[in-house]
Amino acid sequence: MNLSFLDKWRRRADPDHPLPFAGPAAGPEGGPGSGASGAGPGTGPGSGSGSGEDPGSVTELLSECELLRAQAAEAGVELDDTPRSLEALDQLQPVWRDDPEVLPWLGNDAGLYLGTVLVRTVRGAVWQVWPDGLPVVRLESGREVDVVRAGHEWADDGAPELSHVYAEVAES
């Protein structure tokens, strides 16, 4: 079976700088916060079963965000996993809103990318995958951020901006 995204993912993985992964959560049914998962298509990686998962593989797969990276590259924006790239994403023309098939996938990717930036740049931030498959970012304080929901809100409405979510989370 030819899965091109896996080839790209394997080439991108940097064994010297893996993303932190807290592992599957044993939390309440329905996930963190208000219970609204916000999970859209593609939240299956690392479904939180805990059986035989490779944490490094799960975190790298969560950081792939292939559709978002392709859309950004097409607009001349480089996604380098930094807060500055979130600001650049916020400035993109939302052409994806015209395509109801792309919108949920792009929102999911935007949330996963936001999570990737948080995990790479905020001290103590780690990925946490709930038993229902929802990936969230857990901060050192114990607060959990539903980045997928934030990504969907950004893709749907443009608000809150990804850079604002990052700034608010990084402050806490």
Mean pLDDT score, 113-142: 95
Mean pLDDT score, 5-17: 46
Nearest to 64 by CA among 42, 48, 86, 47: 42
Q: Can you give the residue ranges of every domain in the chain?
A: 54-172
- 84 pLDDT higher than 60: yes
Count the Cβ atoms, other than its own, within 10 Å of residue 120: 16
Comparing 54-68, 91-105, 135-149, which segment has the lowest mean pLDDT? 54-68
Rounded-to-integer distance, Cα 122 and Cα 117, Å: 8
The CATH topology of domain 54-172 is Four Helix Bundle (Hemerythrin (Met), subunit A) (1.20.120)
Mean of pLDDT over the chain: 79
What tens digit of pLDDT does each residue of 100-123 get? 999 999 999 999 999 999 999 999
- 128 pLDDT higher than 70: yes
- 44 pLDDT higher than 70: no
